[in-house]
Amino acid sequence: MQLRNSSARYGLISMLLHWGIALAVYAMFGLGLWMVTLSYYDGWYHQAPELHKSIGIVLMMGLVVRVIWRHISRPPSAPKSHSTLTRVTAAGAHIALYSILFAIFISGYLISTADGKPISVFGLFDVPATLTDAGSQADLAGQIHLWLAWSVVILSALHGLAALKHHFIDKDDTLKRMLGRSSVDSGA
């Protein structure tokens, strides 16, 4: 399997970034929902948020790599069978997913650094707090973070359903291309 994207399918790097980020986003969503239910006396009360922050920073770095990679190794063109509306909708959905994910990272950063303390990433390095004594930002950023998280989960679920629709109803290679199984290797 090739590392870079071809005209017909995604390469290994794009697929690993896509599926890895998707898995991490859903895991982070579950972790976030779970950690806010913990009581002060729960053993995970302090550990879960630290884990959530660390994974969030790594996920943000992965998304930056993915955006850079998308410019280095352009994605395959949409199949010729896709209408203009389908192409525009797909492009808009991708832009929305990337934008919402970056907004989630920003709001998470604002929540985490509202007390002026840096974010420790698995104890390996710290991400400094740029704003200090901004405690009121944490509440607003927290609400935004929650709504954006729900938005990205719903939009990504629709993205997945659209891929399944292309596979089972339209019977095109849209899903196969992201699985590395495109039936053609030119001009999909």
Compute how many other C-beta atoms are within 10 angstroms of the C-beta atom of residue 5: 21
Is 188 a domain residue?
no
For residue 41, tell me if it sits in a domain.
Answer: yes
Report field, pTM of the whole predicted structure over 0.85: yes
pLDDT of residue 107: 96
**What CATH number does the domain containing 174 carry?**
1.20.950
pLDDT at position 184 is 56
Listed as ranges, residues in the chain with pLDDT below 50 are: 185-188
At residue 136, the pLDDT reads 79
Indicate whether 1 belongs to any domain: no
Q: What pLDDT sits at residue 186?
A: 39
Residues 6 or more apart in contact with residue 68 via CB below 8 angstroms: none
Residue 108 has what pLDDT? 97
Please give the pLDDT value at position 67. 97
Strands 119-121 vs 125-127: parallel, antiparallel or unpaired: antiparallel
Is 4 a domain residue?
no
Q: Give residue 185's pLDDT.
A: 44
pLDDT tens-digit map of 44-72? 999 999 999 999 999 999 999 999 999 99
- Looking at the structure of the chain, the number of domains it has is 1
Give CA separation, 86 vs 78, 82, 121, in Å: 9, 6, 40
Please report how many Cα atoms fall inside a 13 Å half-sphere around the Cα of residue 112, on the Cβ side.
Answer: 26
Q: Is residue 91 part of a domain?
A: yes
- The verdict on residue 187 lying in a domain is no
- Domain extent, residue 118, equals 12-178
> Does 162 map to a domain?
yes
Is 141 among the domain residues?
Answer: yes
